[in-house]
Amino acid sequence: MVKIAFLFPGQGAQYVGMGRDIYRKYKTGRRIFEEAQASLDFDLIKVCFEGPPEKLSRTDISQPAILTTSIALLRVFQELNPHISPEVLAGLSLGEYSALVASGSLDFKEAVKLVRKRGQFMEEASLRHPGKMLSIIGLAPEKIEEICKVSKTEIANLNCPGQIVVSGKEENIDLAAKLAREKEAKRAIILDVSGPFHSSFMEEAALSLKKELEKVDILPSKIAVVSNVGAVRETEPDKIKKNLVSQVIHSVKWQNSMELLINDGFKEFFEIGPGKVLRGLMRRIDASASVINIETEKDMLSL
C-alpha cells in the first residue's frame, strides 16, 4: 500500500486569485473563506482575489490568506477524493499551522486568528530589528556556517540540498552575499521579505506568540505532524505549542523533515495550497518522489 503525506506551503506562496475557483464553485470552499473573514479584521476575500499584490504580500495578511486558501483546497479535495488520505502531515513554516488544522489538533478559526497575530508580531519585530534574508545556492553547509560566523548571520531555512537561507541585519546579509559569491556559490539571492525571520531577531515575536498560544486549545493530533524545528513527528499538544514558539526563532529543517518521511517509505506527496515551491524542493531532495499539486479545481478533478 502506498504511503501518502500531505504537505502545506508557507509564506511566499501567495498570489492574487488563489482559491477563487473553489470559492465560486464549491460551498465547502466558500464556507472556509467566509469563516476566516468573520474571524479577521480585514477583507480577506477581496485581498485574496483582487489584491493588490503588495497588500497580499504583507506578513500579517499573507499568513492568514495562505492558511485559508490551503484549508479551503484541502476540504474540497477531501470532498471530491475521500479515498485519498494521508498517514502524516507537514508544512513549511507557516504551513505547519495548516498541517495542524488538517490533523484535527487546531481549530481552523482559532488558527486564522493565531497566524494573523503571528504575522503582526513578526512584522513588529522586523521594525524593531530591520533585516533581510538571503538564499545561498550551491554551497556546502559547512561553508555557509563559515559565512554565518564571519558575517554574524544565522541559518534560517535548510530547504533542500544546495539551498540554504540565512537571516540577519541588512549590512550583515550584504556581507554574507559577498562572501558567498567569493566562495563561488551558484547564486546568492536577497529574498523579498520584510525581516530576518527564523532567527534570534524574532525573540520578541516568539514571546508574544507564546502568550497567545496559552489561550488556545490544542488537541492531540489524529494524524502526526512533522515539526519544522525537530524534523520529528509530533502529536502531543504541549510539544506542538513549544515547537510553534521555537519555530519563530530557529531554523526550518525542511530537508531533514522530508528525508525523515522518505526514509520511512513515503513516496507519494500532495502539496495542498497555492504555488509549487514544495514540489520544486522535493525534486532536489529525492527526484524519485512523486509530488502532486492541489491548488485549483482542475488539479482535483484530474486525479
Mean pLDDT of the chain: 96
Q: Considering the domain boundaries, does residue 174 fall inside one?
A: yes
Q: Are 151 and 204 in a shared domain? A: no
Alpha carbon 57 to chain centroid, angstroms: 14
Q: Which domain holds residue 175?
A: 130-190
Q: Are 118 and 14 in a shared domain? A: yes
Whether residue 302 is predicted with pLDDT greater than 90 in this model: the reply is no
Q: Are 137 and 248 in a shared domain? A: no
- Contact call for residues 131 and 168 (beta carbons, < 8 A): yes
Q: Considering the domain boundaries, does residue 234 fall inside one?
A: yes
Q: Are 105 and 34 in a shared domain? A: yes
Q: Are 122 and 148 in a shared domain? A: no
Picking from 138, 155, 190, the residue at the C-terminal end of a domain is 190
Q: How many CA atoms lie within 13 A of 37 on its CB side?
A: 15
Is-cis flag, bond preceding 196, omega within 30?
A: no
Q: Which of 70, 103, 167, 198 is catalytic?
A: 198
Q: Are 180 and 272 in a shared domain? A: no
Whether residue 133 is predicted with pLDDT greater than 90 in this model: the reply is yes
Q: Are 106 and 220 in a shared domain? A: yes
What does pTM read for this prediction? 0.96
Q: Is 70 an active-site residue?
A: no
Q: Which of 93, 126, 167, 257 is catalytic?
A: 93
Q: What is the pLDDT of residue 296?
A: 96
Confidence of residue 155 (pLDDT cuts 50, 70, 90): very high
Q: Which of 274, 216, 290, 302 is nearest to 92 (CA)?
A: 274
Q: Which of 79, 122, 70 is nearest to 100 (CA)?
A: 70
Q: Are 93 and 219 in a shared domain? A: yes
Q: Are 69 and 96 in a shared domain? A: yes
For the chain, percent of residues with pLDDT exceeding 70: 100
CA gap 111, 158 in Å, rounded: 25
Q: What is the CATH number of the domain that holds 233?
A: 3.40.366.10
Q: Is 198 an active-site residue?
A: yes
Q: What is the mean pLDDT of residues 11-17?
A: 94
Total domains, the chain: 2
Q: Are 90 and 225 in a shared domain? A: yes
Alpha carbon 238 to chain centroid, angstroms: 21
Confidence of residue 303 (pLDDT cuts 50, 70, 90): confident
Confidence of residue 261 (pLDDT cuts 50, 70, 90): very high
Q: Are 224 and 112 in a shared domain? A: yes
Q: Are 186 and 209 in a shared domain? A: no
Q: What is the CATH number of the domain that holds 177?
A: 3.30.70.250
Q: Considering the domain boundaries, does residue 195 fall inside one?
A: no
